[in-house]
Amino acid sequence: MTGLTSVPEEPRPTEAPRPADTYLLEARALSYRYGDHVALDSLDLRVAPGEIYCLLGPNGAGKTTTINLFLGFLEPASGSAWVAGRDVATAPLETKQYLAYIPEQVMLYRNLTGLENLEYFAALAGKSSIGRAGLREILQDAGLQPDAVDRRVSGYSKGMRQKVGIAIAMAKEATTLLLDEPTSGLDPKASNEFSELLGRMRERGVAVLMATHDLFRAKQTGTRVGIMRRGRLVAERETAELAHADLERVYLEHMGSDGGTI
Amino acid sequence: MILRTARKELTDTVRDGRFRWAALLVGALLLVALGAGWMHVQEARAQHETARATAREHWDSQGEKNPHSAAHYGIYAFKPRLPLSFVDQGVDPYTGTSVWLEAHRQNDFVLRAAQDASAVQRFASITAAGVLQQLIPLLIILLSFGALAFEREQGTLRQILALGVPRKHLAWGKALGTAGALALLLVPAAALGAAAVVGAGGGASGATLGRAAILTLAYFGYFSVWVALSLAVSAKASSARTALVVLLAVWSVNGLVAPRVAVDLSKSLYPTPSAFEFAHTVEREMANGVDDIRPPDREAITARLLEEHGVERVDDLPVNPSGITLQESEEFGNRIYDRNYEALWDAFERQSRVHDALAVLAPGLAVRALSMGLAGTDVEQHRHFASAAEDYRRDLMRAMNMDLALNSRAGETYLADDELWESQPPFDYEAPSLAWVLGNRRLSALVLLFWVVGAAAAAAFGVRRMEVG
């Protein structure tokens, strides 16, 4: 094994321990079961401010389950999920104040315009004071073309919807982003724009946890990657220490006979 | 947050072409039904007023006549149409609204619209109550079956909940959004209805306003039940399509199956005779008497009068035995009618209780009973009117017979004049008070309340336990 640290087979990279409240996302021995099937097995994971953590793995590896546990949509079988130093299980609504979630397909209300959608979601996030001019600016910052802002989203492409999703996160001023395959199905240009947006958010100190199949995007965008297999985090590494080829090779090594789609 | 969700729901709904078409159709039907009902009631009121005045004029101007002939001449009594009866005609088309009051007979009611209508007319008749009880719930279902299920299917539910929106706030917002969309349809209709009530018959009385307020409250409760049920099903159904199917099944049971079952079950438990059987029984008992109710014997009455007055000859009696015999014959008939009608009304009342009880399974039965009660067109208020009309008939017949008895002698030709006819007070019927109606309908009100609370609890449970997807 080169360049990657397996978890728990290998010890965690040696780094100066940080106080727990400096991590915006933390999983402590987090486990989840669907009936008899172990979907997530004692996951330990931490994401600090300004960090983009990419979770890699095939379908069924436990990436989306991890995100659902951070969102409080699932109850852990054991262990705990923490957001900004608060346990999701005991403070589900409070922890969501810090979170923004962007799914693979950002779904919007087709009868409303992009601006109206943002206005609605921002209001739900408690940001109704921003005002239409401010929201318009946020949509443009997120990369939405000005002429699309007042159009109903029924005519939006997937990339445009993803940008509205980012705009919602920006309007919310979330300190933590949970992304579930956000670039899946996007064309290369839209994917690049999305990566640039994430980079800008990282610079603002936002912590990002992104589940993805896309090794290239993970290497390009992420500051750290974790590889999951059958509910376990089997490897974890800083991307700066890896060449793209290394990441692909080690990913395949850890997948073993499972393969999985890269 | 709740109001923001409601506003978004309203905007989303109003922009939805399906809602616009459905609302247009239901709104048009409601307005047509209200308009037709109002015109029908106004027309009936005018006809009744004219007929009542004419009947009274004929009564007063009979000229010289034997009082018993006048008793047979009789007079019509018309059931007054309460202002809200244009919303719900209730049992009026089946029971009739007018009765001929004459000697010896407690006649059936006439002016039964249902009797005169063809099968097609009965099927196609649209009333405001029908629209409110059947079509508005259908519209609520179409508006809200996907309220949560669609959000889940589309993935927006995850996004909303990820923002930290409490589930109950989301559900309240959805409910208020649906209510807002309905209000766009119902508030103008209610305003028109209120204007019709106030504008008709020289303004609305306090009693009418009280009935209207509670009627509005009852329908508000009924619609709330459907909104809450739709949210509960939408929260728990595996898909929006499943939610729609489940809700349509509930709607069918409520509006189509339950009323039929209630009628059949109540008739089976508490059977009532057909009109022919009833008339035949009364006729037989009138001819022969029944139990200790026996037809009067003219000779026995005469003998009793001779003894009471201490005279030996009929000509010496200070009263006319014919008048006394006619009155006793009237009282004999009254006892026969009371015996049969009481059994009939009791059976109707028991049947009504069966409907009330079955409303636990279908809220439509509860709101239907409340609606008819508050509109003044239920069986109980028909009975109230029928009893008042019958009391008036008996007083009138007694006055005629006693005038004959006291002012004439046996074998004498006696003719009374207009003074007697004019001295008879007109039939002045006062509809039951709101408290009386609510007393009768308290079970329906309780059952509706049970539905409101139950549906709200189901919605709260469903929303709390719903899958996020």
pLDDT at A257: 55
Separation of alpha carbons B383 and B344, rounded Å:
11
Percent with pLDDT over 70 in chain A: 88
User: Which pLDDT band, with edges at 50, 70 and 90, does B109 fall under?
Assistant: low
From chain B, pick out residues whose CB is under 8 angstroms from the CB of A129. Answer: none
Residue ranges of chain A whose CB lies within 8 Å of a chain B CB: 68, 71, 73, 93-94, 96-97, 99-101, 103, 105-109, 111-112, 116, 120-121, 123-126, 128, 165, 168, 172, 178
Separation of alpha carbons B94 and B89, rounded Å:
10
User: Which pLDDT band, with edges at 50, 70 and 90, does A12 fall under?
Assistant: very low
Percent with pLDDT over 90 in chain A: 39
Closest-CA distance of chain B to residue A95, Å: 8
**Least reliable range by pLDDT among A63-67, B251-255, B285-289:** B285-289
Greatest mean pLDDT range, A191-205, B203-217, B352-366: B352-366
Looking at the DSSP bridge assignments, the partners of residue A87 are: A82
Closest-CA distance of chain A to residue B455, Å: 25
Separation of alpha carbons A138 and B113, rounded Å:
66
Looking at the DSSP bridge assignments, the partners of residue B100 are: B76
Backbone angles phi, psi at B418, to 5 degrees: -55, -25
User: Which pLDDT band, with edges at 50, 70 and 90, does A6 fall under?
Assistant: very low
From chain B, pick out residues whose CB is under 8 angstroms from the CB of A168. Answer: 159, 163
From chain A, pick out residues whose CB is under 8 angstroms from the CB of B8. Answer: 109, 112, 116, 120
Separation of alpha carbons B346 and B269, rounded Å:
13
The CA-based angle B148-B162-A216, given to 5 degrees, is 115
* Per-residue pLDDT reduced to its tens digit, A166-187: 899 889 988 999 999 887 777 7
From chain B, pick out residues whose CB is under 8 angstroms from the CB of A165. Answer: 159
B300 by DSSP, 3-state: which? helix
Closest-CA distance of chain A to residue B362, Å: 35
pLDDT at A244: 64
* Per-residue pLDDT reduced to its tens digit, A197-216: 888 888 888 999 999 888 88
The mean pLDDT value for B305-324 works out to 89
Percent with pLDDT over 70 in chain B: 95
Buried/exposed code over B28-61 (b: 16+ C-beta within 10 A; e: otherwise): eebbebbeebbebbeebbeebeeebeebbeebee
Is residue A11 scored above 50 in pLDDT?
Answer: no
CB B177 within 8 A of CB B10: yes
Cβ–Cβ below 8 Å for A120 and B154:
no
User: Which pLDDT band, with edges at 50, 70 and 90, does A44 fall under?
Assistant: very high
pLDDT at B368: 94
pLDDT at B174: 92
Q: Which are the contacts of B226, defined by CB distance < 8 A and separation ≥ 6?
A: B136, B137, B140, B141, B455
User: Which pLDDT band, with edges at 50, 70 and 90, does A221 fall under?
Assistant: confident
Cβ–Cβ below 8 Å for A178 and B165:
no
Which of A93, A96, A124, A158 is the best substitution to test chain B (most B C-beta atoms within 10 A)?
A: A124
From chain B, pick out residues whose CB is under 8 angstroms from the CB of A99. Answer: 162, 164
Mean pLDDT of chain A: 83
pLDDT at A87: 93
Is residue B443 scored above 70 in pLDDT?
Answer: yes
pLDDT at B113: 52
Cβ–Cβ below 8 Å for B164 and A73:
no
From chain A, pick out residues whose CB is under 8 angstroms from the CB of B2. Answer: none
The mean pLDDT value for B53-68 works out to 86
Is residue B369 scored above 90 in pLDDT?
Answer: yes
B280 C-beta neighbours (distance < 10 Å), count: 12
pLDDT at B447: 95
Is residue B105 scored above 90 in pLDDT?
Answer: no
Which residue of chain A is at minimal alpha-carbon distance from B16?
Answer: A111
User: Which pLDDT band, with edges at 50, 70 and 90, does A245 fall under?
Assistant: low
User: Which pLDDT band, with edges at 50, 70 and 90, does A21 fall under?
Assistant: low
Backbone angles phi, psi at B415, to 5 degrees: -125, 125
Smallest CA-to-CA distance from A83 within A46, A110, A128, A121 is with: A46
Q: Which CATH superfamily is domain A1-12+22-98+175-255 in?
A: P-loop containing nucleotide triphosphate hydrolases (3.40.50.300)
Cβ–Cβ below 8 Å for A125 and B12:
no
**Least reliable range by pLDDT among A172-181, A198-207, A250-259, B93-102:** A250-259
From chain B, pick out residues whose CB is under 8 angstroms from the CB of A116. Answer: 8, 11
Cβ–Cβ below 8 Å for A172 and B11:
no
Mean pLDDT of chain B: 87
Cβ–Cβ below 8 Å for A107 and B159:
yes
Greatest mean pLDDT range, A229-243, B362-376, B423-437: B362-376
pLDDT at A9: 36
User: Which pLDDT band, with edges at 50, 70 and 90, does B3 fall under?
Assistant: confident
Q: Across the interface, which of B12, B155, B166 has its CB nearest the CB of A105?
A: B155
From chain B, pick out residues whose CB is under 8 angstroms from the CB of A97. Answer: 164
Pairing of the two strands A224-229 and A232-238: antiparallel
Closest-CA distance of chain B to residue A164, Å: 12
The mean pLDDT value for A213-231 works out to 87
pLDDT at B435: 93
The mean pLDDT value for B83-87 works out to 85
Is residue A190 scored above 80 in pLDDT?
Answer: no
From chain B, pick out residues whose CB is under 8 angstroms from the CB of A128. Answer: 4
**Least reliable range by pLDDT among B118-132, B183-197, B389-403:** B118-132
* DSSP assignment letter at A179: E
Closest-CA distance of chain B to residue A157, Å: 15
Closest-CA distance of chain A to residue B160, Å: 7
**Least reliable range by pLDDT among A146-155, A243-252, B369-378, B413-422:** A243-252
Greatest mean pLDDT range, A241-250, B299-308, B405-414: B299-308
The mean pLDDT value for A220-228 works out to 89
From chain A, pick out residues whose CB is under 8 angstroms from the CB of B155. Answer: 103, 105, 107
Cβ–Cβ below 8 Å for B162 and A96:
yes
Cβ–Cβ below 8 Å for A71 and B161:
yes
pLDDT at B349: 87
Cβ–Cβ below 8 Å for A107 and B5:
no
Q: Which are the contacts of B145, defined by CB distance < 8 A and separation ≥ 6?
A: B230, B233, B234, B240, B243, B244, B247
The mean pLDDT value for A255-261 works out to 56
B111 C-beta neighbours (distance < 10 Å), count: 20
pLDDT at A10: 34
pLDDT at B104: 77
Cβ–Cβ below 8 Å for B155 and A178:
no
CB B82 within 8 A of CB B374: no
Closest-CA distance of chain A to residue B159, Å: 6
Cβ–Cβ below 8 Å for B160 and A124:
yes
User: Which pLDDT band, with edges at 50, 70 and 90, does B201 fall under?
Assistant: low
Q: What is the complex's ipTM, to 2 decimals?
A: 0.79
The mean pLDDT value for A59-75 works out to 91
Greatest mean pLDDT range, A19-23, A39-43, A185-189, B312-316: A39-43
The mean pLDDT value for A72-96 works out to 91
Is residue B118 scored above 80 in pLDDT?
Answer: no
Which residue of chain B is at minimal alpha-carbon distance from A105?
Answer: B155
CB B76 within 8 A of CB B109: no
The domain spans of chain A are 1-12+22-98+175-255, 109-174
pLDDT at A256: 65
From chain B, pick out residues whose CB is under 8 angstroms from the CB of A130. Answer: none
Looking at the DSSP bridge assignments, the partners of residue A43 are: A30
* Per-residue pLDDT reduced to its tens digit, B230-243: 999 999 999 999 99
Which of A101, A107, A117 is the best substitution to test chain B (most B C-beta atoms within 10 A)?
A: A107
CB pairs < 8 Å spanning A and B: 68
Is residue A261 scored above 60 in pLDDT?
Answer: no
